[in-house]
Amino acid sequence: MKSETEAVEMYSKWSLEVITTERDIGTEQLFKKVVMEEEKHFEIFETEFLNLQKFGQQGTEKG
Ligand SMILES: [Fe+2]
């Protein structure tokens, strides 16, 4: 989950940089899409982690 959080922070920073320094809207939107995907990944891992804590291996999707 840490790598997902780091990815969100990194792409968010790049998104802001590219729009403020380059005025590159296309690249900014690309970075925003990546951020949203990474946020989804984080939510999936968080849910799996909580399910693992709560139900053990049988509580996960692949259980
Ligand atoms: Fe990811």
Q: Is the pLDDT of residue 63 over 90?
A: no
Q: Is the residue at 41 inside a domain?
A: yes
* R_g over Cα of the chain: 16
Specify burial of residue 15 (Cβ count, 10 A radius: 0-12, 13-18, 19+): buried
Query: Measured in angstroms, how far is the CA atom of residue 41 from the centroid of ligand 1?
Result: 5
Cα 5–Cα 18–Cα 39 angle in degrees, nearest 5: 20
Query: Measured in angstroms, how far is the CA atom of residue 60 from the centroid of ligand 1?
Result: 18
Q: Is the residue at 28 inside a domain?
A: yes
Place of tokens 């989950």: 1
State the average pLDDT over residues 12-41: 96
Domain range for 24: 2-57
Place of tokens 């990194």: 10
Q: Is the pLDDT of residue 57 over 90?
A: no
Q: Is the pLDDT of residue 32 over 60?
A: yes
Query: Measured in angstroms, how far is the CA atom of residue 12 from the centroid of ligand 1?
Result: 14
Q: Is the residue at 63 inside a domain?
A: no
